[in-house]
Structure 1
């Protein structure tokens, strides 16, 4: 009697598991996700004469979409740009700076000592709201909010 009950219970669990798999929509992707990235508006660090303002103040992104983001430093300040949570939840394709491409698994910090620029190519992989900011300048407003859906 116990074996029949156990078997019925296992069959019921298997049925529930199978039904839940069928109910979840599957992700649809045709081809390589990182080709043809959407170019975001350039992020400019130091849009004022003091060098603390940034433009734009926020980005709205989608998971699974490839993006390229050019970051331009005005040279008014030194900027150690970090985004700890955001950088953890992107697939990084490459960083271009000067005449080189840097292919790495992750970014810890992008440091701009003078007027310069870098471009990152990435795919967000986790929804959330994140901050990208210049270390030591967050309180002065050198921060960008990134919304990922």
Structure 2
């Protein structure tokens, strides 16, 4: 039986995701509920500058963003990918949306994995479905005992 691997890294910043195992289990359950199995998934936490460089170099977008997801999957239904998250953007967005940092971080963790499950957010309809899915999964982890 293959082991599922979800890793959390920080690049050029000091950041540690609290309750890593709880978040791993939550993300694995999210993927499973969506009909996917995680083979290898890396979350890389960074700052605005680091993610901006990736955005320019790989996507030719000269803008700040909170997340960039790279899908490395080669087998349908098996997730392999790298998700880069700007902790700076997550903090700012939590303030803009009048939420907590923890809740916004969970939203963005789910957001990246939902992209790997095939969800898009380019149109208004796609974005609405993405937000519904994010809220659904945030509600699930919020009810877990810590």
TM-score normalised per structure 2: 0.30
Task: For CA contacts below 8 A with separation 6 or more, give which structure has more relative contact order.
Answer: 1
Greater fraction of residues in helix: 2
Greater fraction of residues in strand: 1
Compare CA radii of gyration and give the structure with the larger one.
1
